A and B are shown apart, each in its own frame.
Chain A
């Protein structure tokens, strides 16, 4: 019995020593030179492996920074301090990085969207998008909530057929922008708590837009004439150059001229807005209305 026990212990010991020796030898024999900066950068990255930078994980991003010269400020989770740390390792200046948040480039609620047909197919935007004639506007929000389902943080909801972002809950992962089949949701660098955005995606001429939507952008270029520094109309749709955007610009002249009120502010309300609406009665939060999942999943064709 004692011999057996000794034998068992000895067998394990020998096995451990042999594999230890083999692995130790392999570690030296198969040593690969790795740029020490890669490990240093991987050390200062958050290690969340979220993929928000566009690379597979933190390790991949660190390698890309060193080997391919990827920008040092791509990490949205780590933010400015992380970008500064990576920049210090690489010996470059860090450009300031901004959190990207989704913006809905459409402001037409169900009653604003014209020429709508009854759609009985699969209740997802991806499916409705390939069917013609669901609604007149082929650019606008379909309101079937692919973005809301894609959001893991409950930051999106559909209100009267239009996607709405809750910027308090949003973390900027971009899942909604990837889910939207019409690319109405885009990620905008939020350089301020509130951002000026264009709430329309329709690139048709004004008359065609009016035929399908009550509130769509007509492409009249009034904003460009009023504030050419900020707005640039391309394909009948104003664009905002967010590279040149700073602070909270006063867009009152453009807003006054805009006939369809397409230029809107999104984001967290500013103190001024809160002050202005303080006396108004705000409708209370509507409690959730749980229903059986069968309601939503049953085939209605």
Chain B
């Protein structure tokens, strides 16, 4: 029960309070580029959620086994060649490995969808390959693979929590981009000063939205109290 409440709080915190777009300002390029229309924005958000979940599972596994300090697999291989090795740390490889993982995962998912779910593949269209270079996926992987999430302390995550984090982050991104697309569709009818047209006004609106989302700060504490934590 306590575990489930923790999961719920994690989802709430990640999706709304520490929203990737409004709190961390990652994933801004698709946020500005694909928020022109509501349906494409929703498509992009769901594609990001999907890829982020896949990438999170993969990166959690690799980090757990290989990349974190004193990872079992790395230690075993090391001891095979240099018996008596006390500790091993491959953390420096994180960026490289994660980018590599994301790119291959996206490629794989694309091929799989094309064969098995052609309608979904058509719906995702150009967004899936675009996500390969999306920084919010890398951000999620880095957070999941960070030392405090991996070192076995109080803040450490298991696979389920990492997955919940990724899905919640993706849904938060979807929420943010859909809100922005709705605003931008209405913005077409507004008389925006020439100098502010396009990305400029979008960034300003994103800033106002971020301030509005500040209002969610503290909600997690309230929910935690609700469950008696």
Contacts and interface: CB of A to CB of B under 8 A. Distances in A.
Interface string B179-195: 00000000001011111
Contacts of A32: 114-115, 118
A123 interface: yes
A8 B93 contact: yes
A4 interface: yes
A22 interface: yes
Contacts of B125: 56
A7 B100 contact: no
A27 B96 contact: no
Contacts, number: 71
B111 A11 contact: no
B227 interface: no
A65 to B, nearest CB: 17
A124 B191 contact: yes
A26 interface: yes
B99 to A, nearest CB: 11
Contacts of B85: 3
A19 B104 contact: yes
A156 to B, nearest CB: 15
22 contacts: A4-B78, A4-B89, A7-B74, A7-B78, A7-B88, A8-B90, A10-B77, A11-B74, A19-B100, A22-B108, A23-B104, A26-B107, A26-B111, A56-B125, A57-B126, A123-B191, A124-B189, A293-B193, A293-B194, A296-B191, A297-B191, A297-B192
Nearest to B58: A19
Contacts of A3: 78, 81-82, 85
A16 interface: yes
A12 B82 contact: no
A124 to B, nearest CB: 7
A11 B111 CA distance: 25
A131 interface: no
Interface in A157-192: none
Interface residues of A, number: 29
A115 B194 CA distance: 32
Interface of B: 62, 66, 74, 77-78, 81-82, 85, 88-90, 92-93, 96-97, 100-101, 104, 107-108, 111-112, 114-116, 118, 125-126, 189, 191-195
B111 A297 contact: no
B88 A4 contact: yes
A8 B88 CA distance: 10
Given A8-B92, A32-B114, A15 B100 contact: yes
Contacts of B101: 15, 19
- Considering the complex of A and B, which 7 residue pairs feature the smallest CB-CB distances, nearest first? A293-B193, A30-B115, A19-B104, A30-B111, A3-B82, A26-B111, A297-B191
Contacts of B126: 57
B93 A11 contact: yes
Contacts of B92: 8
Nearest to B93: A8
